[in-house]
Amino acid sequence: MYVRVAILVGSLRADSFNMQLARTICERYRDRMEAEILDIGTLPHFDQDAEQDPPPAVADFKRRIREADGVIIVTPEYNWSVPGVLKNALDWASRVDKVFIGKPVMIAGATPGMLGTVRAQLHLREILSSPGLQARVLPPGGNEVLVSLAPQKFAGGRLVDEATLSFLDGVVDKFIAFIASP
């Protein structure tokens, strides 16, 4: 099965490990998945007064989410939670046409720290369960892509650690099957 996936990256940093992980995902599974990294850094701050007729960048972002078969969120952990730039994008998506309802979502994250963004991922799962989002998130058991000690695992702008890549292969396989399943 060939799927179309939108990727959201929770870091705007030029050398972001999470962006490197997102690019690795785009390239590595090209035969089965067309993945597009959406630019959430240019979305304006969420404003409830603008939600009925949002700015063009927001309307475009929501359209791309609506048209995707699934979404992969690749994010760092900031202060034990998700970065504001990602929460902002999710807040826009959670209103009016609610483009995440029923949308298959996979979560991944990288950090130089030991805990692989686990706290952010737990928060993110809670956020994605909220009434405005109601995403269909790949269940956590065995599917948590927690890339710890990132400086040792990335080189040349890509994830290169073989054990992590092999684990990622398995999770992406399951995500593609999850998208296909009712």
- Residue 90: φ, ψ to 5°: -65, -35
Query: Which segments within the chain are labelled E, that is strand?
Result: 3-9, 33-38, 70-74, 104-110, 136-137, 145-147, 154-155, 158-159
Residues 137, 89: Cα–Cα separation, whole Å:
17
Nearest by Cα to 73 from 113, 155, 133, 131: 133
Closest distance between ligand FMN and the C-beta of residue 151, in Å? Answer: 9
CB nearer to ligand FMN: pick between 86 and 137: 86
Q: How many CA atoms lie within 13 A of 139 on its CB side?
A: 4
Tell me the C-alpha to C-alpha distance, in Å, between residue 104 and each of 65, 68, 79: 11, 9, 26
CB nearer to ligand FMN: pick between 120 and 176: 120
Closest distance between ligand FMN and the C-beta of residue 22, in Å? Answer: 9
CB nearer to ligand FMN: pick between 86 and 135: 86
CB nearer to ligand FMN: pick between 5 and 19: 19
Closest distance between ligand FMN and the C-beta of residue 117, in Å? Answer: 6
Closest distance between ligand FMN and the C-beta of residue 142, in Å? Answer: 21
Residues at the interface with ligand FMN (CB under 6 A):
11, 13, 16-18, 76-80, 111-113, 115, 117
